[in-house]
Structure 1
Amino acid sequence: MEENQRKEMDMSYFGKPTARIAKMKEDLLNAQAQVCVERAIYTTEAYKKHKDKLPILKRAYAIKNTLDNMTIFIEDGGLLAGNQASVNRAAPIFPEYAIDWVIDELDEFEKRDGDAFYISEENKKVLREIAPFWEGQTVKDKGLALMPPLARKCYDLGIIKVEGNITAGDAHLAVDYDKLLKVGLKGIREEAQAGKDKLNLAEFSDLKKVYFYDAVLILIDACINFAHRYATLAEEMAVKETDATRKQELMELAHVCRRVPEYPAESFHEAVQSVWFLHLILQIESSGHSLSFGRFDQFMYPYFEQDLKTGKITEERALELLENLWLKTFTINKIRSESHTKFSAGSPLYQNVCIGGQKTDGSDAVNDLSFMVLKSVAQLKLTQPNLSVRYHKGVSDAFMKECIEVIKLGFGMPSFNSDEIIIDQFINKGVSREDAMNYSSIGCIEVSIPGKFGFRCSGMNFMNFPRILMIALNQGVDVTSGEKIFDTPIHFRDMTSFDQVWQAWIDTVKFFTPISVCLDSCADYALEMEVPDSLCSALVGECLKRGLHLKEGGAVYDFIGPLQVGIANLGDSLAAIKKLVFEEKRITPAKLWDTLMADYQNEDGWKVREMLIHDAPKYGNDDDYVDNLTRDAYQVYIDEIAKYHNTRYGRGPIGGGYFPGTSSISANVPQGAGLCATPDGRRKGEPLAEGCSPSHSMDTHGPTAVFKSVSKLPTLKLNGGVLLNQKLTPQSLEQERDVQKLILMLRTFFDTLKGYHVQYNVVNRETLLDAQKHPEKHRDLIVRVAGYSAFFNVLSTETQNDIIERTEHVL
């Protein structure tokens, strides 16, 4: 069957968007990714004007100045209002976080192999004029200055990566949208004012809190004024509008923007607009990503149900509003440094929408809005929002089938997270059962409690496991840089047993783990002091009650998750060493080491590589030999990281600790690029395995064997996420029996094997190769990169190749 015929058949299942929505989508797809300098201008103005004030107030005035003065517009046919930048798909610059890389790369933005951005010469000049003011004053400047020498060395060498934490905001959370809709910003303002009025300013601890409350009050008023700006704009546009239907729509939009987010939402339209305004403004407040909507089908359902029952809205208009919201979500953009971009290929914002799961009483939470969210995302087929589904035993086959129909469209959504494991994970960490039952997916595949969890439930430092293994084998010397990091008693060349390898791994993990925590603390300290997110804090947990912003400990729960890269490579490498070197003695440690250093280019190097690849067990094939080694090696790190605390520990929240996770986004590509050959047969510079997925082409026993291998990981301890990508050919899901087979496989994975997560790319290798050669033919091709989807054509060549080389499975 021809590709375009298959696509047409798949799309017919969900139907097509209305002409209005289709045109708006086309306009966005044609929009050029640009750099917007407005926020940088208004932020710099405010910081200069209020230079005598504390950072928390300077920042509040800066965001107010931006909201008061930035360009606003309403798209032709738009039912919602609110834009992040001067034009759609433009990325603002956040100078308070970092400006050095912006200036250094200004002339390179358009030349990038992937994630290119365009900027005018005029705007380059603006940024160059702004930059001197920020010298030595940014979060990056402060974060780097805080790093002790050894920690800074590990950062500079890229052994532990925290660049994203000191060049951008945190996010990685969902705020309390349910509360916003019920009380409005007016109710939240009253709560903040009451908290301020109770303070005893003779007490130093209370004196500090007054500035937080003042910042919240400034920002709430700014948000309300921002919404009123759009109300006025809509009224002005309505006066000029000649089409009666459109004139009425604009007047309705003006009415909605006069009411929300200031007041509680009274209709589905108001609820959607209110959520969008706050979601948008939080993106303007901070350059963080993974700001997520939480359990959208739960807190939005009462407004949807009420309006349908009263005839205030039709399903068709509700669907248009949803699709307009997703189009708005897609307009959000972010520019990262060239090096950071490699860790987040495709300019993802990870704006997760979570549906399904259970209610607090354990009953199925799927409702009519859950189905409509699936339909709306399917009709648009975009990279945002990042749709995830909470799976549980009681979910119906009808809902599962609908999810598979979306997956068949081939853009990597939805992903599945399992209630069966995640709820218990949270309870084991001290989260109440009621809150645990209300968890939501955040960003990629990580999970959090909406409105109660602190920043960055996942995504702190990135630790390169195979690189650390090579340091362990090299007597504490980093193979990539040649730098001596620490001392170990023996080099791999001289080892006589696998026990020595194992002990070297343990010692090296114990050496680097506290350094990673130190780097996190330096980043958190700089973020806490320089860029407190007061508006975001006002919408989370106990912040207003405690008078503390999120970085000070205002959340109910606060755990953070570092990410580990190359888990499969680690397990496969250890298995090859144990079996081929020490058990079967087919190669000496010295010979293997020399071969790795030569990237298999020495005498018999290719024979050695063939042996490593084909004669050693490989993770992903349900082989206990390698699966258990992978689990045990990972457990060393899990046990070690559990000993440490974040900067909020003891300051209010439950937790304050760490948990590991495998949601390493696209970090497997750059972290492999800077690494020598490894004992699993991987060559120098090749990507590492992604997430907890097997290495490319090493999983030869089918998708169920992969499920079994992954299920042997210590999943209950991996609260940061267990990311599993699988790739299926479109032909694998053509027949109804294939759909049912996949549903049964998923139920077995989650119910029996206690799997955590899985997501699918449904695309042919041939299609991807053709898209590389003829990108103009595949403008709409979307692939699952890691815990997110991206347009294939905007990815760097190396990331494209990484996706092409993933194992293709059939059912």
Structure 2
Amino acid sequence: MNYFGNLTDRMNNFREELLNAKPMVCVERAKYTTESYREHADKPMVLRRALCLENILKNMSIFIEDETLIVGNQASSNRSAPIFPEYAMDWVIDELDEFEKRDGDIFYITEESKEYLRKIAPFWEHKTLKDRGLAGMPTQSKIFYDLGIIRAEGNITSGDAHIAVNYETVLKFGLINYKERTEKKLKELDLTDYRNLNKSYFYRAILIVLDAVVAFAKRYADLALELSEKESNASRRAELLEISRILNKVPYYPAETFQEAVQSMWIIHLVLQIESNGHSLSYGRMDQYLNSFYEKDLEIGKITEEGVTEILTNLWLKTFTINKIRSWSHTRFSAGSPLYQNVTVGGQTVDKKDAVNPLTYLILKSVAQTKLPQPNLTVRYHKGLSDDFMKECIEVVRLGFGMPAFNSDEVIIPSFIEKGVDEKDAYNYSAIGCVEVAVPGKWGYRCTGMSFLNFPKSLLIALNNGVDIQSGTKLCEGIGHFKDMTTFDEVMKAWDKIIREFTRQSVIMDSCADLAIEELTADVLCSALTDDCIERGLNLKEGGAVYDFISDVQGGIANLGDSLAAIKKCVFEDESITPAQLWDTLINNFEGEEGKKIQDILINDAPKYGNDDDYIDLLLKDAYDIYIDEMKKYKNTRYGRGPIGGCYYAGTSSISANVPQGAGTIATPDGRKAGEPLAEGCSPSHAMDKNGPTAVFKSVSKLPTHDITGGVLLNQKVTPQMLSKESDREKLISLIRTFFNRLEGFHVQYNVVSRDTLLDAQKHPEDYRDLIVRVAGYSAFFNVLSKQTQDDIIERTEQVL
């Protein structure tokens, strides 16, 4: 038995079934979507979307697993991934025969399903989100997309998501409240004002979707009743009858018991996944809005701590049933098929008190027992967090599946308030997906994760007078070639000019994607459950949310800093390398004796980020500040349409993008060879952080963390032996407290696994079916990752406390 105890027998059996489930491609959603789009082609798009969701929920396969207390399925079988044809179909058809042959994230598909998808593909030609997004890109911006310098594929092949809806209000008032509010707003509209016609379509769409969700729940209620009549086991019969009773009540009416609340929340969460091809649909601050149900049931003897733990583990198992298939190029940016379904616990209440409650501990316990990549568990840290709770968190960390991650109230709350977020809302933030943060139920889409900008590649183009090296394409005017530069100031001027232009292009591409999504793929349910969409009569893409801040993702932060430091130190100060020598060596990928000699100088003679060296750390900050200064100039497509904000901030939540971005980048001045992965998040480059974890924390803290509100992602790796002693665990707690209390750290998470274990898992994957690693801001089974991503994780520095 582990520290937190084991799963109940039936939840353990359920877990085994899910781990053994074959990830299939499910075509049901594609079928019912195509049917509905054909039938309702004449209707306004928002109504078309609502009727589409209604058709899916009415006709898709449903089932109730033998072990479960919480019901609802996303696809025709657990762990199967639906196809969302309205977002993109070209890659689906192109890759049908490759799904099973992938190096990682393998999916299986029947020949019958392939035939069906090929049959419906012509209907979707020139009608998908991807088609519209690419067609809307200006020619110059499209060049950046095609060359992979600014990556935006996820924005135009998937929905937005990266959001947590207002679960607290749903549980307290039920969907009936949303329906009544919508009916009232619709009745009040003056339709002689043409602007109100679009609002009327939106309100009618909400009513369709709310009724469809209730009918979907009723289907499960009827199925549970039917199964109960055939069930010979009296205990299971009673459970099925209770499931039927609950689903005849929620989510339409308010929840009153803990099981009702969890079931209501799950049905909503599930339908949001079915509605949109987005990911990072998160649960928000679950310990805050569910604890009252737990304590009430406990007080009247309706439930026990063990019973609540089982329901929670059941919810996590259901959460793990959801799956998503991406194109191979997009998959490489999101290795491990992550859904980033985040649960946030801890932190502070809106009146600034410690928010840890009895359910907080049970959520930790249940996630530890289940030990799966989903949900993504985040602990909100603040100075008043007790040592007792911190010890419980570290016990979960010790289990070695990369959870929980820690986000700091000490940086995030002030950062939000500085940007105009109401103080009470700022104190109610949650993690959304990886490390990105937002106010649940009040924030629009994509608080991070718009387009991905490759910083090291941008630097190389700056040094090449604005020309992309691999393709020879002139992207913009530079200030000259590196070979002709005589001072480091010229290098920084070149970076300044190029990064400002690339930032401008990324905003253009973001807007193209946003306009396409607004036009074609409104998420009606998600909008209805986010304040103040109903009040304004606007969906989320039209400006319905209270707040709407977004960020792009900047990749290769450490490589940028290390490269600039190497150029400054080795070329212009020590003069041990000439500009021409360095450039030619980069083009030749450090080949030959001379190349190896220069690589050694770059690696060994220049300061490296992650060692608490102001030389490099402040240089990186200066370079990053240029990007941030430029990004602050721009607005998103919702600016001035209702939400507070409507602007950008920085973010480093690079997921697994560092691997494919590195694959497309030639050798860099930090000594990295062509094709090798970039550093992920804001973490130091592999093996470059020589001075221990405290030095890493101090380097990271010098970044402009208040401006990187999209997430300052820091991965750290320690061996299990490093946390085997209580004294070492106490050291880790002290280290985390110092990082957040004194150094203004934003985030940290831990991989607790040895290099030897990972190497052995590569050789003998059959012996490591349950091995989970932290990839970036999320965890994944090691075996499902591509070898290149596995190698990247293996090479991370092992810290010593």
Q: TM-score range by the shorter chain?
A: over 0.9
Partners of 2:252 and 2:511 in 1: how far apart? 36
1:805 matched to 2:792? The reply is no
Count matched residues: 801
Superposed CA deviations along residues 393-419 of structure 1, whole A, max 9, x for unmatched, are: 000000000000000000000000000
Partners of 2:791 and 2:131 in 1: how far apart? 35
Return the letter of the residue paired with 1:28: L
CA deviation after TM superposition for structure 1 residue 390, in Å: 0.1
Partners of 2:98 and 2:42 in 1: how far apart? 36
Partners of 2:571 and 2:550 in 1: how far apart? 38
CA deviation after TM superposition for structure 1 residue 315, in Å: 1.1
Match of 2:547 in 1: 557
Residue in structure 1 matching 2:69, options 79, 83, 96: 79
CA deviation after TM superposition for structure 1 residue 480, in Å: 2.5
Partners of 2:635 and 2:523 in 1: how far apart? 22
Residue in structure 1 matching 2:712, options 709, 719, 722: 722
Partners of 1:717 and 1:469 in 2: how far apart? 21
Moved more, 245-254 or 310-319: 310-319
Match of 2:27 in 1: 37
Residue in structure 2 matching 1:15, options 5, 17, 20: 5
The answer (yes or no) to whether the contact 1:351–1:384 under 8 Å persists in 2 is yes
Superposed CA deviations along residues 254-278 of structure 1, whole A, max 9, x for unmatched, are: 0011000010001000000000000
Partners of 2:115 and 2:627 in 1: how far apart? 47
Match of 1:412 in 2: 402
Match of 2:192 in 1: 202
**Matched residue SS, 2:96:** helix
Unpaired runs of 5+ in structure 2? none
Partners of 2:292 and 2:598 in 1: how far apart? 63
Unpaired runs of 5+ in structure 1? 1-10
Partners of 1:680 and 1:481 in 2: how far apart? 22
Residue in structure 2 matching 1:387, options 377, 385, 389: 377
Residue in structure 2 matching 1:94, options 84, 99, 105: 84
1:596 matched to 2:577? The reply is no
Superposed CA deviations along residues 153-184 of structure 1, whole A, max 9, x for unmatched, are: 10010000000000000000100000000111
Partners of 1:307 and 1:480 in 2: how far apart? 64
Match of 2:322 in 1: 332
Residue in structure 2 matching 1:173, options 163, 188, 199: 163
Return the letter of the residue paired with 2:734: L
Partners of 1:33 and 1:12 in 2: how far apart? 29
Partners of 1:441 and 1:77 in 2: how far apart? 30
Match of 1:645 in 2: 635
Superposed CA deviations along residues 711-746 of structure 1, whole A, max 9, x for unmatched, are: 000001010000000000110000000111100001
1:676 matched to 2:666? The reply is yes
Superposed CA deviations along residues 330-352 of structure 1, whole A, max 9, x for unmatched, are: 00000000000000000000000
Partners of 2:182 and 2:449 in 1: how far apart? 30
Match of 1:658 in 2: 648
1:509 matched to 2:496? The reply is no
Match of 2:390 in 1: 400
Return the letter of the residue paired with 2:655: I
1:733 matched to 2:733? The reply is no
Residue in structure 2 matching 1:140, options 130, 143, 151: 130
**Matched residue SS, 1:715:** coil
CA RMSD of aligned residues (A): 0.6
Partners of 1:561 and 1:237 in 2: how far apart? 48
Where in structure 2 are the equivalents of 1:242-321 lying within 5 Å? 242-321=232-311
Superposed CA deviations along residues 18-74 of structure 1, whole A, max 9, x for unmatched, are: 001000000000001110000000000000011111111111111100000000000
1:704 matched to 2:694? The reply is yes
Return the letter of the residue paired with 1:689: A
Partners of 1:204 and 1:562 in 2: how far apart? 35
1:363 matched to 2:353? The reply is yes
Partners of 2:156 and 2:743 in 1: how far apart? 39
**Matched residue SS, 1:300:** helix
Where in structure 2 are the equivalents of 1:617-632 lying within 5 Å? 617-632=607-622
Match of 2:528 in 1: 538
**Matched residue SS, 2:645:** strand
Partners of 1:446 and 1:481 in 2: how far apart? 34
1:792 matched to 2:779? The reply is no
Match of 1:6 in 2: none
**Matched residue SS, 1:761:** strand
Superposed CA deviations along residues 229-280 of structure 1, whole A, max 9, x for unmatched, are: 0000000000000000000000000001100001000100000000000000
The answer (yes or no) to whether the contact 1:562–1:661 under 8 Å persists in 2 is yes
Partners of 1:297 and 1:191 in 2: how far apart? 27
1:70 matched to 2:70? The reply is no
Partners of 2:290 and 2:191 in 1: how far apart? 40
Residue in structure 2 matching 1:779, options 759, 769, 780: 769
CA deviation after TM superposition for structure 1 residue 654, in Å: 0.3
Match of 1:239 in 2: 229
Return the letter of the residue paired with 1:726: Q
**Matched residue SS, 1:259:** coil
The answer (yes or no) to whether the contact 1:727–1:808 under 8 Å persists in 2 is yes
Superposed CA deviations along residues 202-224 of structure 1, whole A, max 9, x for unmatched, are: 00111110000011000000000
Partners of 2:194 and 2:412 in 1: how far apart? 41
Match of 1:343 in 2: 333
Partners of 2:456 and 2:682 in 1: how far apart? 14
Partners of 1:409 and 1:344 in 2: how far apart? 23
Partners of 2:649 and 2:470 in 1: how far apart? 28
1:570 matched to 2:560? The reply is yes
1:548 matched to 2:538? The reply is yes
Which 4+ stretches in 1 moved above 4 angstroms?
Answer: none
Match of 1:7 in 2: none
CA deviation after TM superposition for structure 1 residue 481, in Å: 2.0
Partners of 1:393 and 1:352 in 2: how far apart? 22
Return the letter of the residue paired with 1:243: N
Match of 1:615 in 2: 605
Match of 1:3 in 2: none
Return the letter of the residue paired with 1:461: S
Match of 2:463 in 1: 473
Return the letter of the residue paired with 1:181: L
Where in structure 2 are the equivalents of 1:455-474 lying within 5 Å? 455-474=445-464
Return the letter of the residue paired with 2:130: K
1:119 matched to 2:121? The reply is no
Moved more, 308-317 or 349-358: 308-317
Return the letter of the residue paired with 2:63: F
Partners of 1:326 and 1:712 in 2: how far apart? 37
Partners of 2:50 and 2:34 in 1: how far apart? 12
CA deviation after TM superposition for structure 1 residue 762, in Å: 0.3
CA deviation after TM superposition for structure 1 residue 488, in Å: 1.5
CA deviation after TM superposition for structure 1 residue 603, in Å: 4.6
Match of 1:105 in 2: 95
Partners of 1:449 and 1:279 in 2: how far apart? 17
Residue in structure 1 matching 2:211, options 210, 221, 225: 221
**Matched residue SS, 2:379:** strand
Match of 2:751 in 1: 761
Partners of 1:486 and 1:645 in 2: how far apart? 22
Partners of 2:478 and 2:105 in 1: how far apart? 41
What TM-score does the superposition give when structure 1 sets the normalisation length?
0.98
**Paired-residue identity, %:** 65
Match of 2:119 in 1: 129
Superposed CA deviations along residues 387-445 of structure 1, whole A, max 9, x for unmatched, are: 00000000000000000000000000000000000000000010000000000001001
Residue in structure 1 matching 2:509, options 519, 536, 542: 519
Partners of 1:216 and 1:343 in 2: how far apart? 34
Partners of 1:442 and 1:475 in 2: how far apart? 39
The answer (yes or no) to whether the contact 1:595–1:602 under 8 Å persists in 2 is no
